[in-house]
Amino acid sequence: MALDWFKRVESSKGLFAVERISLIYNAITTIMIVLLFSRMDHPVTMLVERVGIVAITFALIFLYQKYPCRLSAFIRMAVQMAFLAYWYPDTFEFNRLFPNLDHLFASAEQALFGCQPAVEFMNLCPDIWFSEAFNMGYFAYYPMMAVVAIYYFVFRFEWFEKVSFVLVTSFFIYYLIYIFVPVAGPQFYFPAIGMDNVWAENFLSIGDYFNHNDVLLPGPDFEKGLFYGLVETSQEVGERPTAAFPSSHVGISTICMIMAWRVNRKLCYGLMPFYALLCCATVYIQAHYLIDVFAGWVSAVCIYIVSTWMYKRWFVSRDFHLVLNR
């Protein structure tokens, strides 16, 4: 199927669905900054950055109105997805103000499984081949999203707006959870309390410790392989002590698998090995507790249903001519 990049596509409402939900999230977090202004580290900078995101959004709308085609429509929606790289660490600026809850999750993990799976899993697979395979799966997180989104853009363009909306809305729902449920995960919590306390099952409450500290526990590096290095580098650049429960890596990748299954089973089967490795990797590299993974699976189904309903009910653009009852 040949893609006509310059085929005209119009939005009669001015904003695409993904832009509207992005502006709503922007407004919600802006109100939160104003309410928490005196407690935040750099609220003025955060407000200026939000104005910048709004300005870029409307600049792209102007560009689209000048050159209305599939390519400019793709750029508008792809940029909103790219902004997720900003919105993720932004959650830390809010949840660092609240008492950390990792001690509750580590205690629950111990009670449910009789151990800390994030520690035991690594010890059960002490080999570079396991390390590289799991790190490859973890690193495949964003490429999986890109593959699914681009597939829809190329082969099912009439569904592209919905896919973009569901992905971005799902992230925003997770981000709102992360703001109010401050859980950092084992790779931050275990260094904070010390491994002696972990082995002694003494899971201490650390209050607002992460408001001033962000020491990251290195992942299993039995030998420093390629994918281990890629994951470590990406975490050093963009990781924060936030966003552990539920696992958005598991949740968003599950949503991607649902969307892949709906459009092309072969695409879904091709992504399945990376998906399986990614889900395992979240615990293996100690980014998440095992209960975060279970919560990721459950939340993915719920959020997919909710975001799809939201799109059909309030956000669908008539110009995309989606088959809503599929």
Q: How many domains does the chain have?
A: 1
Q: Residue 124 and residue 255: Cα distance in Å, rounded?
A: 29
Tally of CA atoms within 13 A in the half-sphere of 153 that contains its CB: 19
Helix 141-155 to helix 160-180 angle (10° resolution) is: 150
Q: Domain residues for 201?
A: 99-320
Average pLDDT over residues 123-136: 89
Q: What are the structure tokens assigned to 85, written together?
A: 């790289």
Q: Is residue 190 one of the residues assigned to a domain?
A: yes
Which of the four pLDDT bands, split at 50, 70 and 90, describes residue 324?
A: very low
Q: Is residue 19 one of the residues assigned to a domain?
A: no
Average pLDDT over residues 56-79: 90
- Backbone phi and psi for residue 243, each to the nearest 5 degrees, phi listed first: 70, 40
Q: Is residue 253 one of the residues assigned to a domain?
A: yes
Which of the four pLDDT bands, split at 50, 70 and 90, describes residue 5?
A: low
Q: Is residue 291 one of the residues assigned to a domain?
A: yes
Q: Is residue 241 one of the residues assigned to a domain?
A: yes
Q: Is residue 201 one of the residues assigned to a domain?
A: yes
Q: Is residue 284 one of the residues assigned to a domain?
A: yes
Select from 168, 162, 166, 171 the least CA-distant residue to 57: 168
Please tell me what DSSP assigns to residue 200.
Answer: T
At 212-269, the pLDDT tens digits run 877 666 655 555 788 888 888 887 777 788 889 999 999 999 999 999 999 999 999 9
Q: Is residue 252 one of the residues assigned to a domain?
A: yes
55-59, 66-70, 157-161, 277-281 — which is least confidently predicted?
66-70
pTM listed for this prediction: 0.92
Q: What is the mean pLDDT of the chain?
A: 89
Q: Residue 317 and residue 319: Cα distance in Å, rounded?
A: 5
